[in-house]
A and B are shown apart, each in its own frame.
Chain A
C-alpha cells in the first residue's frame, strides 16, 4: 500500500513538472527579483543602489500612492465583478434552451469574446461619446468622478463573452436526466434553478468569480487604451497595476518593486480567504 502511494506521488511529480518549470522561470524567479529589488534604494538617476533592508517597504506600502492605487483597483473590482457574474448567468440561462436556431444566438453572445482590448475600446468610444456616440452622453471618461465607471463599463462588455461561455459550458455539463428528474418532481422553473441548477454549476461560478476578480485586480490594458491622458483625469483610473507599470523606469523601480510585492501579498490574503470560504460550499458531484 505504501509503495503504491509513493508510485502515485512519482506520477504526480511527472504530471506537474511541465507547469512547475514554466512557473519557476517566468513567475517565481521574477517574483524573487522583485522582493530583492525592494531591499535596495536608488538615487534620482536610478543608479547607485544601496541596501536599506525593509525600510523602503514600510515607506512605500504606507505611502499615499500605494493606498490610492489599491483603492482604485478595489473600486474597479466592485464595479465589474458582481455585474459581470450576474450578466454571464442571465445570458447563459437565456441561451441554454432547446429552440430551433439557438446556436446562432449562442454564437452571437459569445462573439464579444473575440474582441481584443483595442476593439473594445473603439466600440466603447463609438457608443458613448459626446460627438459621434450613439448615446450622446457627457464624456464619462473626462470627469474624474465618472471615469472609473466608463472604464468599468467597457471592461464588463469585454468580459461578457467569457462569462457567457464559462457559465454555458457549466450548464451544458449537467446531464439532461438530472433536470428531467427534477421536472418530473413538478418543481417550478425558478425553484428548479435555485435548488438544482445553481448548485450543479457552482464550480464554474467559482471559477468565473476568480477569473473576474483576477481580471479586475490586474486591469491595465483597457485603462491604458481608453483614457486620455492614460490613467484618467486626476489619475482617477490609475489602478495599482497601472501605477506599478508606470514605475518601471530605473529611478522608480525600487518603489514599483515594493508595490508589486505589496499587491501580491494583499491579493494572496484575499484569495486565500475567498477560497477557504467558497471551495467548501462548492458542489463537486459526489
Chain B
C-alpha cells in the first residue's frame, strides 16, 4: 500500500515538471506582453514583469479592432470545421468499407492533395477566387478548405479499426450503410473524430497566408491573425503585437478545455454500450 502512494506521488511530480516546461514559455510571453518593451530590452529578463502596462490588452484590442476580426475568424473557422468533418467522414467511410472501381488509385489521388502546401498553389487559387468575384468575402475565405485528405485519412484508419464482429452483427440486423456509419462507425471513432475537430478548428483559426492574400480591405475582411499583424511594431510598442497574439489565442484555450473531455474515454464507453 505504501509503495502505491510513493508511485502516485512520483507520477504527480513528473506530470507537474512536464507541465511546467510546457507552461513556462507561455508565462514568458505573458511577461513580455505586459512589460514596457524598452525596459525589457534595456537589460531585463522575462522572469519578472517590468514597468507593467496593464492597459496593453485593451490597447491591442482597440488598435487592431480585434473584436470584429475575431468574429469573422469564428464564422470562417466554424464553417470550415463543420464542412471538413462531414466531407472527411463520408470519404473515410467510403474508403474503409465500400467497394468501387479504382479504389487504390482514387485514394492515392486524395492523399496527393496533401503533398503541396497552399504557398505553392496560392497563385492559381487566387486567380480562381478573383474570377468568381469572391475576394473580400466569406465564400472566398472558406471555399478552398471545405475538404481535406488529412481528415479522410485519419478517420478512415479509425473506421478500419472497428471490430469486424460488430459490423457483421449489424449487417445481420439488416442495417444499411447510413445506419452503420451513424450508429456504429462514428460513435466508435469518437476520440479520433474529436481530435480531428480540434486540429481542423485550430488550423482554420490560425490561417495566415490565404486570408492575407484574398483580402484587399483587411480592416473589413481581415481575420484575427491578420489583425494582430497589423499592430505596429515600432520598438516602444513591441509588446502590443505580443498582447494581441495572446488575446487572439485565448478563445482557443477555452475551446480546448471544453473539448478535451471528448477525446478522453468516458463518453465513448457509453456510446458503445448505448
Residue ranges of A at the interface with B (Cβ–Cβ < 8 Å)? 5, 8-9, 11-13, 15-16, 18-19, 21-23, 25-31, 33-34, 91, 94-95, 97, 99, 102-103, 105-119, 122-124, 126-127, 131-134, 157, 160, 162, 165-166, 168-170, 172-173, 176, 203-204, 206-207, 210-211, 214, 217-218, 220-221, 241, 244-245, 248, 253, 260, 263-264, 267-268, 271-272, 275, 282, 284-286
Q: Is the CB of B245 within 8 A of A116?
A: yes
| Chain A interface, DSSP helix/strand/loop, else mixed | helix
A28 to B124 alpha-carbon distance, docked (Å): 11
Task: Check A264 against B116 for contact (C-beta < 8 Å).
Answer: yes
Q: A19-B110, A119-B246, A165-B195 are in contact. Are A133 and B147 (CB under 8 A)?
A: no
- Interface SS of chain B: helix, strand, loop or mixed? helix
A134 and B28 within 8 A (CB)? yes
Contact residue among A30, A108, A119 (Cβ-Cβ distance under 8 Å from B249): A119
B157 engages A15 (CB within 8 Å): no
Query: B150, A166: Cβ atoms under 8 Å?
Result: no
Instruction: Give Cα A12–Cα B247 distance, bound, in whole angstroms.
Output: 44
**Which listed residue, A8, A9, A122, A172, touches B263 by the CB 8 Å rule?**
A172
Interface residues on B, range: 35 or more
Distance in angstroms between the alpha carbons of A21 and B203 in the assembled complex? 21
Inter-chain contact B11/A157, CB cutoff 8 Å: no
8 Å CB interface, B144-165 against A? 144, 146-147, 149-150, 152-154, 157-158, 160-165
Evaluate contact between B11 and A97: CB separation under 8 angstroms. yes
* Structural contact, A11 and B98, CB atoms closer than 8 A: yes
B115 at the interface (CB under 8 A from A): yes
Residues of A within 8 A of B225 (CB): 116, 118
Binding site for A on B (CB under 8 A): 8, 11-12, 14-15, 18-19, 22-26, 28-29, 31-32, 40-41, 43-47, 86-88, 90-91, 93-94, 98-101, 106, 108-117, 119-125, 128, 143-144, 146-147, 149-150, 152-154, 157-158, 160-165, 177, 189, 191-192, 194-195, 198-199, 202, 205-206, 208-209, 225, 228-229, 242, 245-246, 248-249, 252-253, 255-257, 260-261, 263-265, 268-269
Are A211 and B150 touching (Cβ within 8 A)?
yes
| CB atoms of A244 and B25 under 8 A apart | no
- From the candidates A15, A114, A127, name the one contacting B94 in the complex (CB within 8 A): A15
Q: Establish whether residues B264 and A264, one from each chain, have CB atoms under 8 Å apart when the complex forms.
A: no
Q: Which residues of B lie under 8 Å from residue A19 when comparing CB positions?
A: 87-88, 90-91, 110, 147, 149, 152
Q: Which of B205, B228, B265 contacts A176 (CB 8 A)?
A: B265
B117 touches A218 (CB 8 A): yes
Which residues on A sit within 8 Å (CB–CB) of B46? 126, 132-134
Whole-angstrom CA separation of A241 from B264 in the bound complex: 36
